[in-house]
């Protein structure tokens, strides 16, 4: 497995890679050893247990619905802060490194959100990157992470307990309350939003951005063309956030050729839960 991880890393960063997504933190690569003063308290056991739980949950549906095998290569020993998706034959592959799990901004839920993001490259649908024509855009993978992936994996968990010790901003509370009517469903929304914030804070640090991403301060950028690359931290938080508050069911899959399918969209009359204009360009 270690040899495969090393080979995958080299392939993923070569110019010839056509079946590799590129990475969660492409162009922002840093290293965090297990004994680093910058590491959090995420343990090797938590790293491995989180990966196993994710595989156990999604493997049956990927086998049943896509006739494919989910394979997650986790290398705790690697100090690299990154994760990436690969596709080969009938294999849905994700590689994730210990350095990312050790980043000070990454919580256990944030780590699961990263796995969901990488799964989103495989199943996030429109828009796909033109570079490989199978991998959903970075922003779309974030949208998938909360809208489809985290909702499914945490649907039956005690989310009220999971967020009981965390600070939940009024903006997150208010938006979740508009979409969801019960404390249970609101707690799931809170948890998804906080997981997305964990990832956004990591991106802020890797970008050396002095402005902290917040639920109250959405990115004002409006793109003139669809962006397929990594958005900045605030834009990414906005995308996780909107995915969490969109009321469309997680059971309705995204499609490769229809940007409205499974999503909140202005063409459907929606005004909330929309993919942010800081990376997404809606069709008329």
Alpha helices, H only, the chain: 2-12, 44-66, 98-101, 108-123, 138-144, 151-154, 159-162, 170-179, 183-206, 233-245
How much of the chain is helix, strand and coil, in % rounded to 5?
45, 10, 45
> Is the preceding omega at residue 50 within 30 degrees of 0, hence cis?
no
Instruction: Please state, as a whole number, how many other Cβ atoms lie within 10 Å of the Cβ of residue 273.
Output: 22
The pLDDT of residue 6 is 40
Task: Give residue-wise pLDDT tens across range 73-93.
Answer: 999 999 999 999 999 989 999
pLDDT tens profile 144-197: 999 999 999 999 999 999 999 999 999 999 999 999 999 999 999 999 999 999
Per residue in 109-150, pLDDT (tens digit) is 999 999 999 999 999 999 999 778 899 999 999 999 999 999
Band of pLDDT at residue 38, cut at 50, 70 and 90: confident
Could you tell me the pTM of the whole model? 0.92
User: pLDDT category, 283, cuts 50, 70, 90?
Assistant: confident
> Looking at the predicted structure, is the pLDDT value of residue 24 above 90?
no
**pLDDT score recorded for residue 28:** 59
Q: How confident is the model at residue 20 (pLDDT cuts 50, 70, 90)?
A: low
pLDDT value of position 5? 40
Tens-place pLDDT, residues 189-228:
999 999 999 999 999 999 999 999 999 999 999 999 999 9
Residue 29: CB atoms within 10 A of its CB come to 14
| Angle subtended at Cα 146 by Cα 179 and Cα 175, rounded to the nearest 5 degrees | 25
Q: What is the pLDDT of residue 9?
A: 42
Band of residue 11 on the pLDDT scale cut at 50, 70, 90:
very low
Query: Averaged over 263-271, what is the pLDDT?
Result: 96
pLDDT greater than 70 at residue 253: yes
Is the CB of residue 148 less than 8 Å from the CB of residue 254? Answer: yes
Q: Are 214 and 169 in contact (CB under 8 A)?
A: yes
What are the Cα distances from residue 104, in Å, to 108, 142, 209?
11, 20, 15
Q: Residue 18 above 70 pLDDT?
A: no
């Amino acid at each position: 497995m270690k040899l495969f991880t090393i080979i995958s890393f080299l392939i993923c960063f070569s110019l010839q890679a056509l079946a590799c997504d590129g990475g969660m933190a492409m162009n922002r690569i840093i290293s965090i050893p297990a004994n680093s003063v910058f590491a959090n308290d995420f343990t090797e056991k938590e790293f491995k247990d989180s990966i196993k739980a994710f595989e156990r949950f999604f493997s049956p549906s990927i086998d049943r619905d896509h006739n494919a095998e989910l394979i997650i290569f986790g290398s705790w020993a690697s100090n690299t802060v990154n994760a990436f998706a690969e596709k080969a034959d009938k294999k849905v592959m994700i590689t994730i490194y210990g350095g990312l799990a050790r980043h000070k901004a990454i919580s256990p839920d944030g780590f699961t959100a990263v796995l969901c993001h990488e799964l989103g490259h495989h199943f996030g649908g429109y828009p796909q990157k033109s570079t490989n024509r199978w991998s959903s855009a970075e922003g779309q993978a974030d949208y998938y992470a909360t809208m489809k992936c985290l909702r499914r994996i945490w649907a039956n968990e005690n989310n009220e307990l999971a967020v009981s010790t965390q600070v939940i901003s009024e903006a997150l509370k208010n938006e979740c309350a508009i979409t969801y009517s019960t404390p249970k469903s609101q707690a799931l929304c809170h948890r998804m939003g906080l997981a997305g914030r964990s990832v956004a804070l990591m991106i802020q640090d890797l970008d050396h951005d002095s402005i902290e991403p917040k639920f109250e301060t959405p990115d004002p950028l409006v793109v003139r063309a669809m962006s397929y690359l990594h958005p900045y931290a605030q834009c990414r938080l906005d995308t996780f956030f909107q995915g969490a508050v969109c009321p469309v069911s997680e059971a309705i899959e995204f499609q490769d050729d229809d940007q409205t399918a499974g999503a909140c969209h202005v063409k459907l009359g929606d005004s909330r839960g929309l993919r942010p204009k800081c990376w997404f360009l809606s069709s008329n």
